[in-house]
Structure 1
Amino acid sequence: MTDTASSPTAISPIVSPREERVGFLLVFLSALMWSFGGTIARFIDTNDSWTVVFWRSVWAAAFLICFMAWRDGWRGMLRLFRNMGLPGLAVAVCFATASTCFVVALAYTTVANILLMQAGVPLLAALLAWVLFRERVAVATWVAIAAVIAGVAIMVSESLDGAVSPIGDGLALLIAVMFSVATVITRRFAHVRMTPATCLGTMLAAAFAASQATQFAVSTHDMAFLFAFGVINLGLGLAFFATGARLVPAAIAALLGTFEPILGPLWVWLVHAEVPSVRTIIGGAVVVAALLVHIGLEFKRQARPARPGVTGLPSPN
């Protein structure tokens, strides 16, 4: 869930060292909250994925509304929704699709498969921006994109030979594509605020799931984990990220965001003994390595002082 703002863009506004440290902590905590998603989901006994999507989305929407009301006031929150426009609606649809597919995909594939595919979102977004808007892409980024495609191909190859369900891999890939589209939109339309757009996305997901669910009643045990799934994993993670990402450079935010795909499979392995396949490990390692190298180069570029008389240097993405 890190990725609508994880693609490197402009360097963050000047902040004090203390604020920057707080930003580091908040962005890390957001990745930590998001990494618990698969582990929490595996505790839920409800068989109907649409029921899970409904309650997770309801709890997340309720939390995000309260968060925005506390941060911006009721009038400020309504203003944020009004100012989103069509780009905000598009981001909301992308998020609704991705968050729904995440829950459904868990019934068909491993947590590692889903999260490691998501790790390549910033690079897939760079590819998409080049296709749609001909944004400049550096040679190093092209190499990283090729590595991500290769890593994803290794993971998806299991569904081609029948080793795993193609539905799971297809949904995992769709999640990555939706987050990539959302990333490109937020970069092209800088006024789009992630929190209200994502909140609207949870509402859309809840409304669609309500039309598909076979039941809404769940056990107290399941409701407790659905609350954690929606509030702690989804809502709190976004609140941390939305608050902290503005205080740190974009490359650092992206780097801290990689803790989600790294820690997520680890928690599921430790708690539920869900071991990813060899191809998932190999393909995921390729994706994460490509992303880390790309972020490292981007951070180095951002830290390099501009040459005298040169302004407005184009982004490598």
Structure 2
Amino acid sequence: MSSAPTLPVTPTLPESRGQGFGAALVLGAAVAWSFGGTLARFLHIEDGWTVVFWRSLFAALFLLGFMLLRDGPRGTVQLFRGMGLAGIAVGICFATASTSFILALAYTTVANVMLIQAGVPLIAALMAWMLFRETVATHTWIAIAAVIGGVAIMVSESLGGGTSMIGDALALLIAFAFATATIITRRFAHVRMTPAVFLGTVIAGATAASQASGFAITTSELGILVVFGALNFGLGLALFVTGARLIPSALAALLGTSETVLAPFWVALIHGEIPSTYTVVGGIIVLTALICYLGVELWRQRRA
């Protein structure tokens, strides 16, 4: 009698080493995502839904290819069977966040969206504490406050104009969806969430396909969209859900905010768009808060 199929076993790392590896993966995800604005500058597609469709399509193909290469066809099927309701929830969260981002920009400014999204670490920490009594250290709260303050300074010049309650509500929905996905990934650390984020890209792509005015793109735009979807979006998602399983929810969300600091740097370096003084000052505050926080965590681990 044959035994029931089992899911691929995830190697177990020591606590300190596992957290360091997880933090590195989440930071890698933030670096990948930070190129989004730079890549978008190369595109001249008027309909945002068209961009979402192609980006989601190439992200889904990348994630599917990644799973097939790593786990094989049978292993990939087992991953989908094993993700359960938690994986479906994570997929819906990421689909909601990516779709709401496009809708929010139709009602409010990028600055407002960035500022509200800076609250993701705070939301994740509060939700993890209230729902699961996950301890949040004092220095974590300080780092969260510093990050929110730094992002506020970064976008202060652009706040106010062209905003609406609908746009800000959608931006808040993005923050809650991302925080919820982070917490679920952490609480179900035994579940690989790569198929979940694949599901999220499929949902986002299907939603965009139903709203797009057309799908025609040029050959040069196709190449950019492949990178935009596969590396910027797909690779970023894969790194994030893999690393977020290994570290506290608040830390994962905090490291994710480094995307906000890096994005203006890449745009300035590649497109020559020099950021304002407020952007530089706010970015330095955010980066300093993250470095200090990681330094304290490293010191605590070595002391333990």
Q: Same fold (TM over 0.5)?
A: yes
Contact 2:38 2:267 in 1 (8 A): yes
- Offset at 1:295? 2.6
Q: Where does residue 13 of structure 2 map in the other structure?
A: 13
Q: Is the 8 A contact 1:119 1:288 kept in 2?
A: no
Matched residue type, 2:176: V
Partner of 2:182: 183
- CA shift, 1:52, in A, is 0.6
- Greater length-normalized contact order (CA 8 Å, ≥ 6 residues apart): 1
Q: Show CA shifts across 1:69-93 (max 9, x none).
A: 1111112112111211121111111
Between the aligned partners of 1:172 and 1:274, the Cα distance in structure 2 is 25
- Give the unaligned 5+ runs of structure 1: 1-11, 306-317
Q: Residue 182 of structure 2 contacts residue 253 of structure 2 at CA under 8 Å; is this kept in 1? A: no
**Matched residue, 1:310:** none
Deviations 1:261-305 (A, max 9, x none): 333211112223444455444444444433333232222222222
Range with bigger deviation, 153-162 or 21-30: 21-30
Superposition deviation, residue 101 in structure 1: 4.0
CA drift of 1:206 comes to 0.5
| TM-score normalized by the length of structure 1 | 0.73
Map of 2:59 onto structure 1: 60
Structure 1 pair 97/14, CA: closer, same or farther in 2 (3 Å)?
same
Q: Which moved more, 1:150-159 or 1:194-203?
A: 150-159
Instruction: Measure, in 2, the Cα distance between the counterparts of 1:283 and 1:201.
Output: 32
For 2:27 and 2:148, locate their aligned partners in 1 and report how far apart those are by CA, in whole Å: 26
Relative to 1, partners in 2 of residues 1:241 and 1:115: Cα closer, same or farther, differing over 3 Å? same
Structure 2: distance between partners of 1:220 and 1:171: 33
Matched pairs, number: 289
More divergent stretch after superposition (168-177 vs 264-273)? 168-177
Q: Is the 8 A contact 1:94 1:201 kept in 2?
A: yes
Deviations 1:32-67 (A, max 9, x none): 433221111111111111111111001110111111
Q: Note the residue ranges of structure 2 that are not aligned, 5 or more in a row.
A: 1-11
8 Å Cα contact 1:67/1:239 also seen in 2: no
In the TM superposition, what is the alpha-carbon distance from 1:199 to its structure 2 partner?
A: 0.7
CA contact (8 A) 1:120 1:176 kept: yes
**1:51 corresponding residue in structure 2:** 50
Q: Which residue of 2 aligns with 1:220?
A: 219
Partner of 1:193: 192
Distance in 2, matches of 1:200 and 1:21, equals 28
2:289 maps to which residue? Answer: 290
1:192-240 deviation line (CA, Å, top 9, x unaligned)? 3231111111001011111111112222222221111101212234455
Match of 2:266 in 1: 267
Cα offset, 1:190, TM superposition: 1.8
Alignment of 1:49-88 (within 5 A): 49-88=48-87
User: Counterparts of 1:241 and 1:183 in 2: how far apart (Å)?
Assistant: 9
Alpha-carbon distance change, 21 to 125 in structure 1, aligned in 2, over 3 angstroms: closer
1:135 counterpart residue number? 134
What is the deviation of 1:28?
A: 6.4
Question: Which residue identity lines up with residue 302 of structure 1 in the other structure?
Answer: Q
Q: Please name the residue that 1:94 is paired with.
A: 93
User: For the residues of structure 2 that align with 1:129 and 1:24, how far apart are their CA atoms?
Assistant: 18
Number of the residue aligned with 2:33: 34
Q: Are the counterparts in 2 of residues 122 and 183 from structure 1 also a CA contact under 8 Å?
A: no
Q: Cα distance 1:125–1:57, how it changes in 2: closer, same or farther (>3 A)?
A: same
Instruction: State the match for 2:3 in structure 1.
Output: none
Q: 1:178 to 1:91 in 2, by over 3 A?
A: same
CA distance in 2, matches of 1:272, 1:151: 24
What TM-score do the two structures reach when normalised by structure 2?
0.75
Cα deviation digits, residues 102-157 of structure 1 (max 9, x gap): 456677655x8867875664454212212433432222222233333434544565
Structure 1 contact 123–148 (Cα < 8 Å) conserved: no
Counterparts of 1:229 and 1:74 in 2: how far apart (Å)? Answer: 26
Whether the aligned pair in 1 keeps the contact of 2:115 and 2:148 (CA below 8 Å) is no
RMSD (CA atoms): 4.0
What secondary structure does 2:83 align onto? Answer: helix
Kept in 1: contact 2:56–2:202 (CA 8 A)? yes
